[in-house]
A and B are shown apart, each in its own frame.
Chain A
Amino acid sequence: MFDFSIITKWFHTLLTGVMPEWLAIGIECLIVLLFIILLYAILAIALIYAERKICAFFQCRLGPNRVGKWGLLQVFADVLKMLTKEIIKLRQTDLLLHDMAPYFVLTASFLTFACIPWNKGLDILDFNVGVFFFIAISGIGVVGILLAGWASHSKYPLIGAMRSGAQLISYELSIGMTMLTVIMLNGTMQFSEIVQQQADFGWNIVRGHVPAVLAFLIYLVAGNAECNRGPFDLPEAESELTAGYHTEYSGMHFGFFYLAEYLNMFICGAMAATIFLGGWAPIYFPGMDGFNAVMGYIPGFIWFFGKAFFVVFLLMWIRWTFPRLRIDQLLSLEWKYLMPLSMINIILMALVVCFGLTL
């Protein structure tokens, strides 16, 4: 597997050869920032297009197909439209908080985005409590949503934001617990280390067998709820709350919420790919050396994106299949079913790890 850190190290020595280290690090940070923003935009466009097409196929429709070949330029047209729209400032709103809220959501999304290990040696934020950091900053998003609801000075956004708060706080627990299960299996909180172990010993979902599969399923449900999507989209429940917490937003401020929603879905899929499906680790069957060698030639980031988009497809499948839950059903699903189940799952994983039953 190609180690990307060779390139980054070479670049670093190249820069430090001609300039002081602080300037080199500054330039590298700028390049990374540019990379993140570019990738963020590209992924957002790809995801919105994928969502619209997949949603259409689930409903026996064709989806966008008029702007460009197969409607490929539709999202660009929509983004341009959104950029030219006026950002309306309502008299009753708390303007400072109202304008701040989308940036909170976007910041949380960007930071979690930076945690993802893209390839071997290509991780932006990578340190020994990476999983902790990931869970902590993904919680910033809910602050943005609550702010948006509160500052809008309108009843629908407030109800939507409160629902979202209740939902995110509840499902954060399940996510934390399933991640804990994986941490027990791998014995580390560093994302790059987790993936490296999976490349060496097999994917976590195979290695941890029953508890890992259970954890994966719980993660899918909880992750879907974290993204405010699928059957758990009651913060924006169109039929009841017009658009939920972003009812009073227009133009690009609304666009930021929209972007963050789709990127959160990708981050959810990418995390599932990282901690369960082996991140950039290629598929590996013991004994089939020729096949494994061929798989090893495929670059890690392609494996990573393939797996992440596979999980994203699963999330979309779930979204376009099930009807929306009621708020009490949503909370009872978490507190009465997922939470106890993930607790039992942790004990199961502990037993599996203690007695060395991993595959």
Chain B
Amino acid sequence: MEEQNYIEGIFRALKTLLVGLKTSIKVFFEKDVTEQYPENRSTLTFSEQNRFCLEMPHNEKNEHKCIACGLCQMACPNDSITVTSEMITTEDGKKKRQLVKYEYNVGQCMFCNLCVRACPHDAIRFNQDFELGVFNKAKLIMQLNHPGSKVEEKTVAPKPVAQVTAPKPVTSAPGQTDKKEE
């Protein structure tokens, strides 16, 4: 730094100063990034990577994809998922496990996404609902399966199931949901 020519230094300084001024005036005319939260509630959007609250998507016939295997419950490091299931016998005499209650405690969840990764059937995913504040701790425990819902039968509607399960690698669940959202 000491070695540089005096005159050269002046011109280099001027050049770098002008570069700085150019950059800041560009930012000046850019669109502001501030989100005015309560007002823009209806138009507020988040990056797809945001994970706020676990949900179990149901189709229009009130069917979900959970087979009550309990892998998510085992994967959860915080014990925030409790899967209650029962054994039933189907018409053709097979024994089958059926979901009774899928309880999820947001208060304990650390949004690590391990449950979604563990799920072999893509039955659960994280959604973009971020307004989770409640006045009662008990309200933090949510039941994710809707009342009266059933597991989606693969034989009944083969086509949509095939479509949904088409992207094979279950382990890359977040990336997969990204693609689906697009």
Contacts and interface: CB of A to CB of B under 8 A. Distances in A.
Interface of A: 54, 56-62, 317-318, 320-322, 337, 341
Contacts of B24: 58, 317, 320-321
Contacts of A337: 10
A58 B27 CA distance: 6
Contact of B27 (A60, A62, A322): A60
A60, A320, A321, A337: most-surrounded residue (chain B CB, <10 A): A321
Given A59-B27, A60-B32, A61-B33, 18 more contacts: A54-B28, A56-B32, A57-B28, A58-B24, A58-B27, A60-B27, A60-B33, A61-B32, A61-B34, A62-B34, A62-B36, A317-B21, A317-B24, A321-B20, A321-B21, A321-B23, A322-B20, A337-B10
A61 B36 CA distance: 11
Interface size class of B (residues with CB under 8 A): 10 to 19
A317 B32 contact: no
A59 B10 CA distance: 28
Contacts of A54: 28
Interface in B27-63: 27-28, 30-34, 36
Interface of B: 10, 17, 20-21, 23-25, 27-28, 30-34, 36
Nearest to A65: B36
Nearest to B36: A62
Contacts of B34: 60-62
Contacts of B32: 56-57, 60-62
Nearest to B33: A60
A61 B17 CA distance: 23
30 contacts: A54-B28, A56-B32, A57-B28, A57-B32, A58-B24, A58-B27, A58-B28, A60-B27, A60-B30, A60-B31, A60-B32, A60-B33, A60-B34, A61-B32, A61-B33, A61-B34, A62-B32, A62-B34, A62-B36, A317-B21, A317-B28, A318-B21, A320-B24, A321-B20, A321-B21, A321-B23, A321-B24, A322-B17, A322-B20, A337-B10
A133 to B, nearest CB: 33
Contacts of A322: 17, 20
Given A60-B32, A62-B32, A317 B10 contact: no
Contacts of A318: 21
A13 B182 CA distance: 80
A282 B179 CA distance: 61
A56 B31 CA distance: 11
Please give me the 10 A-B residue pairs with the lowest Cβ-Cβ distance, nearest first: A321-B24, A62-B34, A60-B33, A321-B20, A57-B28, A62-B32, A61-B34, A58-B28, A60-B32, A321-B21
